Structure 1
Amino acid sequence: MIPKFDIYKDKWAVTSDDVIKPGLTAIAEALALIGSPEKKLQIVHLAGTNGKGSTLTFLEAILMEHGLRVGKFMSPCILDVHDQIQVAKQPISAEEMDRVFQQMQAAGLSGKLTDFELLTVAAFLHFVNSNVDVAIIEAGMGGLLDSTNVVTPIVSIIPSIALEHTKYLGNTIESIAHHKAGIIKQHQPVIIGELPLEARAVIYKEARNKQATVLELDDQFYIEHTKNGECYTNEENGLRIANLLRKMKGPHQANNMALAITAFFEVATALHVPVSIEGIQHGINKATILGRFEEILPSIILDGAHNPASAETLVATIRQEFPEERITFVIGILADKDVQNVFNQLEQVSDCFYFVDFNNPRAMSAKDMVELSGASQKEVLRDYVQFLQTQSENKCRTVVTGSLYLLTDVRNKLIGNN
């Protein structure tokens, strides 16, 4: 379910399936029919369990500070389908979406793809239409069989690997890593964050098979904490960048920042872009992302922690940012997630939970969440809008978390598109 996508499908009589069909055959054939737009782009490709969106955002900001026109393709959406495809931080407009649908209709793509495959084609077309210098592409699920994996990137990035989408990717870290490693391409470097040992072994094996250089956090590059911000050091090129002051909170964001800076160096080398230390510093300082420990009203935080790994990261951030404050959680989550372990993580920093229903067919009911939770203070919350407004007025620190679809609903109802 991609909000507002059906508007364009109906308008242009382009059909696609609202299902998941892992594999590259259909999209490869569709792209060939429409002129192979993905081959006309300079691309950075990301896959991983958590950290993709934040790493992408840091990298986008740095590239833009160096004067580059940047496209990005992300999933899922925050507001609706338009924000999944952006150029120069501007969501694709209705007119621009009409243009790419007209192109897809003319190429005869109707009925050939799933929704996400069709959206991937739309992203490639929009980036070509918009003459971007670099396109940053985030895999939707996995990597190996994800529809975005038709590209040959300048560099691939894998920030983290944990259990997720086990129905499609397998139920072991090794099998998940196998899918993430699928984005590694022949002779193209891959940048990795802190990975479980079994995942790391899979990544290195695939890199050897593809003769791809691995650049690893805390090996070829690292971050140090100083009195004047953070300092990045790259052992490969000898560069050291001090006074890095990021707005994106949480210790994990230091790692995502380091991955992005390292990726920037690869892009700068490939595109012959002069490196500006000041441009990197400014980019890091300007980078922000919706739904990543984002304060949308006083005392009200949105964070899309939807699996145990991201919940653990949220807990670490809360402990760092609000060590003495009482925390209230408002949660809605998809039933196919590891809900019990998400709750186990969050219950380390709070015993006060409100569970909500939201509009998604995969959502776990608030009633079922109450039964799963081990918190002593827990209840179903019907009118979360009024509740959150009151919490804000009373300066009660409240974190809305779980599904990004819930965060979209909360954002729309509390602050609209502002």
Structure 2
Amino acid sequence: MSTRTEHDLLGKREIPADAPWGIHTARALENFPVSGGGVPASLIAALALVKKACALANKELGYLDRAKAEAIIYACEQVSDDPGCPLAALQGGAGTSTNMFVNEVVARKAGHDVHPIEDVNLHQSTNDVYPTAVKVAAIFGLRELAEKVETLQGVFQRLENRFAHIPTIGKTELVDAVPLTLGAEFGAFAEAFARDRWRTFKCEERLRVVNLGGTAVGTGLTAPRPYIFLAADKLREISGLGISRGENLVDQTANADAFVEVSGILKACAANLLKICGDLRLLHMTGKIRLPAVQAGSSIMPGKVNPVILESVMQIGIRVQANDFIITECASRGSLQINEFMPLLAAALLESMELLGDACAMLAGHAEQIEADEAKCAALFFQSLEIVTAFLPSIGYERATELVEAFKSTGRTDFKHYLTEELGEELVEKTLSPQNLMALGHRD
């Protein structure tokens, strides 16, 4: 195999001549043979975008000559478009291996004797460019997620309207409670997703403040003052994001609590998905709704169809909740001036956003095809003794109790028909109409 010789602090070594990276990446590939996923592509693309902003700042200020700067900028754009990275996500060094991978790949693509550290990494440290890149990738991820949650919200709002005329029995503690409409149940789902959409959209604000220019510990040591002020401006300009440089870069470098806050928002979305998918399974089990059949449900039971889409979404919710614990742990275990566990934090955070986006898209497409079984809803509604609760303003608690006890002794199943016999058709139809059930209280 044809090789080339490179050197670093630890000495020289041979690298395959056609390898797009250098010695730092080669050592990282040996040091971290960890399975379970690589560095997220979105993070590599974001890191290349940060490198481009830094090169633009250095070019404008004259710290990079024009030819080198433009070569670096072009190479960064290539890496952003094709961000493949062979490194494992779980690596030591607070992201240094990933930073060096991008430095080396950009330098190789740039040519012009571009040095990965002295040119591509000029006036930078892993400790400022890597957290900044995580925030950039996360903001883009949040925007994509917010759009998918919005679509999901719209689907359930349409189901709310479609099922608004169908009376059903609500349940508390899985036992028949009081009547409402099936549309109201789906309206509650839609409102939960509306909050997820708003929270996801708003929490972008938590990630806009970056420590770019702070170098190793937030003091800006080794970086010229004009560059420190310009780098974040360039990043804001080329990314289209509302990026701003933190006022206290030591704080921004040392503390990762903003990621925990964002993860909490993602966990809330996961909790809603888990709860609502669980409810949809129950409604399907009772026969009130019919979920679309998407695949055969058993290798042994002919004709069985399972709610597999809902189960997949629920597993994603569980994974996101687990990731929230990981993100919280990583943020809390940083020490003094940096957070060494940023690679795991980044992988968990970006995975949660991507998984939630997948879950919302799956659920939206599936829910769009949900059908209500009006006959089954009516049968369950008419059989439930709890529909008598709706008549309390008209007949009082004691009379309602008497009607329930008398009906039980008849052995009949259609409680609504019995109430009609006892109270008259006009009162029963008016009281149990969808309009009355959802009128938010009764009028004297």
Structure 2 length as normaliser, TM-score? 0.24
Larger Rg: 2
Structure 1 length as normaliser, TM-score? 0.25
